């Protein structure tokens, strides 16, 4: 066991609400528009890994943070409820408990420090010193809220975001996840889809190689104790693997990696089409992680080409090599709107910016932690997504939505034919829900146009905004 435990936990099955009162709105390096939003994302990352506890949030909470009030406050302050921060402390988590049961946990960030929210190696602040990454520190502090301690203070030598000192580690590591699941169990797999397929990189057939050497590597911390390394010396060099996909379907793509001080940045394509975002494998010391490359739809099973090519390197990295542990394909019926291609959209009015018209929102309760918004100023406006359907057949169409007081009414059309009834997204407060859009028949596998057209608004609504979380196609 590498992780360390504090000795107290929340009751099993708890919903632990965090009161986020990190005042101020600003665009952060990673695109979040507030520290509250960054903190909410950190909570979502823990939620993905836990079975018998889930974090909830009170956004922009107006409660006065108080020690011993049985509320879990998250805020900036120059003091620790009147006490002093020492010069090196970035944040503290104060926990109240009775016996082995946690009752309260307050997270206080030192307002005297320079914070932003970003990924990758630690950065330098404009005035000198470290520009501290609020996001990774928040993940760490929420680990304390769960009941995790510092493994390095318990004489453990492990790669973990729960280690006592801020480092280039910016995400949950295997040791952190094992600690959280020891306390609260692992999430229950979704039963409606087939099990995931995990392909060990070292066992895949190397289809093509360009400009670099390629070899298998041994490491007890890798899945099955091995992986592969592309010893690249510059950009454009690549390795392409043959991945035997069992069946047509939509899959979440996850890639296990081994990070290090001489690692590069890679991009991935599937069948020649770019997949997901660029991934930086650099860390100042060796580590391991899982990268989210989005979702992909295959219209047939069989051998598929997964190509990894070097697109650059971190400015302080000593090399361009990339190391892969595995490729994991997780079947899903759900297509996240933030990952779908926008086929067409009503042109942006002259007095709007692109972000005022359409964009991605990030929120912990949303599926995948994000969704898309469309903010028209009148009816008849539309946004159309390209939705890949893996197999012909009959499907129940479900739309996940975010409601608010400024929401409009939409009509879905698939390839120009109205689907289901008009749907009102208005509600007096922010909530998440689903809308059943009925049964749809698709004659064959392929790409279909899903148009969401604004037809009006509720008399109580203040606007015409649509917020779509996901589209789910449930086979019948």
For position 53, which CATH number holds? Answer: 3.40.390.10
Q: Which two tokens stand for residue 258?
A: 């081994």
On whether both 260 and 349 belong to a single domain, the answer is: no
Show pLDDT as tens, one digit a residue, over the chain (476 residues). 579 999 999 999 898 999 999 987 788 888 888 899 899 999 989 998 999 999 988 878 888 999 999 999 999 999 999 999 999 999 999 999 999 999 999 999 999 999 999 998 999 998 899 999 999 999 999 999 999 999 998 888 899 999 999 999 999 999 999 999 999 999 876 544 456 789 999 999 999 999 999 999 999 999 999 999 999 999 999 999 999 998 899 999 999 999 999 999 999 999 999 998 899 999 988 889 889 888 899 999 999 999 999 999 999 999 999 999 999 999 999 999 998 999 999 999 999 999 999 999 988 778 878 899 999 999 999 999 999 999 999 999 999 999 999 999 999 999 999 999 999 999 998 888 889 999 999 999 999 999 999 999 999 999 999 999 999 998 98
| pLDDT of amino acid 189 | 64
First to last CA, the chain: 45
**For residue 53, what are the domain limits?**
4-184
426 located within any domain: yes
| pLDDT of amino acid 368 | 79
The answer to whether the pTM exceeds 0.85 is no
3-state secondary structure of 243: strand
| pLDDT of amino acid 192 | 47
**Residue 219 burial (C-beta neighbours within 10 Å; 0-12, 13-18, 19+):** middle
On whether both 99 and 156 belong to a single domain, the answer is: yes
On whether both 212 and 147 belong to a single domain, the answer is: no
On whether both 344 and 313 belong to a single domain, the answer is: no
Q: Which of 154, 184, 214 is the endpoint of a domain?
A: 184
190 located within any domain: no
Among left, alpha and beta (phi > 0; psi -120 to 50; other), residue 81 is left
List helix spans (H) across 347-470: 354-357
Q: Which two tokens stand for residue 18?
A: 């965090």
On whether both 207 and 160 belong to a single domain, the answer is: no
On whether both 328 and 307 belong to a single domain, the answer is: yes
On whether both 361 and 292 belong to a single domain, the answer is: no
On whether both 164 and 202 belong to a single domain, the answer is: no
CATH of the domain at 435: 2.60.120.260
DSSP letters for 282-324: B-SS-EEEEEEEEEEEESS-EEEEEEEEEEE--TT-S--BEEE
């Amino acid at each position: 066991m590498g992780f360390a435990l504090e000795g107290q936990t929340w009751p099993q099955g708890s919903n632990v609400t965090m009161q986020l009162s990190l005042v101020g709105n600003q665009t952060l390096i990673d695109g979040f528009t507030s520290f509250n939003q960054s903190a909410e994302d950190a909570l979502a990352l823990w939620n993905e890994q836990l079975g018998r506890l889930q974090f909830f949030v009170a956004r922009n909470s107006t409660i006065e943070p108080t020690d011993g009030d049985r509320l879990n406050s998250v805020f900036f302050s120059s003091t620790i409820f009147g006490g002093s921060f020492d010069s090196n402390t970035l944040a503290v988590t104060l926990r109240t408990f009775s016996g082995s049961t946690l009752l309260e946990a307050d997270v206080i960030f030192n307002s005297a420090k320079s914070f932003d929210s970003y990924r990758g190696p630690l950065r330098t602040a404009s005035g000198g010193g470290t520009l501290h990454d609020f996001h990774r520190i928040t993940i760490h502090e929420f680990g304390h809220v769960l009941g995790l301690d510092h493994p390095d203070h318990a004489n453990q030598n492990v790669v973990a975001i729960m280690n006592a000192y801020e480092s280039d580690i910016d995400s949950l590591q295997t040791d952190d996840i094992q600690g959280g699941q020891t306390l609260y169990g692992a999430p229950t797999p979704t039963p409606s889809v087939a099990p995931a397929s995990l392909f060990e990189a070292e066992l895949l057939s190397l289809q093509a190689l360009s400009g670099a050497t390629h070899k298998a590597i041994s490491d007890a911390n890798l899945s099955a104790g091995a992986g592969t390394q592309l010893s690249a010396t510059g950009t454009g060099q690549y390795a392409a693997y043959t991945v035997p996909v069992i069946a047509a379907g939509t899959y979440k793509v996850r890639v296990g990696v081994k990070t290090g001080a001489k690692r590069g940045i890679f991009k991935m394509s599937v069948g020649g089409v770019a997949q997901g975002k660029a991934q930086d494998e650099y860390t100042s010391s060796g580590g391991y992680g899982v990268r989210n490359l989005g979702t992909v739809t295959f219209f047939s099973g069989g051998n598929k080409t997964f190509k990894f090519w070097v697109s650059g390197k971190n400015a302080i990295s000593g090399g361009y090599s990339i190391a892969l542990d595995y490729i994991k394909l997780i079947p899903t019926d759900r297509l996240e709107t933030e990952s779908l291609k926008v086929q067409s959209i009503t042109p942006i009015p002259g007095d709007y910016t692109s972000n005022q018209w359409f964009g991605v929102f990030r929120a912990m309760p949303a599926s995948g932690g994000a969704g898309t918004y469309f903010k028209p100023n009148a009816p008849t406006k539309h946004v159309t997504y390209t939705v890949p359907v893996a197999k012909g057949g009959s499907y129940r169409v479900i739309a996940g939505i975010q409601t608010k007081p400024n929401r409009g009414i939409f009509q879905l059309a698939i390839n120009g034919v109205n689907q289901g009834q008009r749907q009102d997204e208005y509600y007096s407060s922010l909530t998440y829900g689903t809308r059943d859009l009925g049964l749809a028949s698709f004659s064959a596998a392929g790409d279909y146009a899903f148009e969401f057209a604004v037809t009006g608004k509720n008399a109580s609504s203040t606007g015409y905004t649509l917020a779509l979380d996901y589209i789910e196609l449930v086979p019948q």
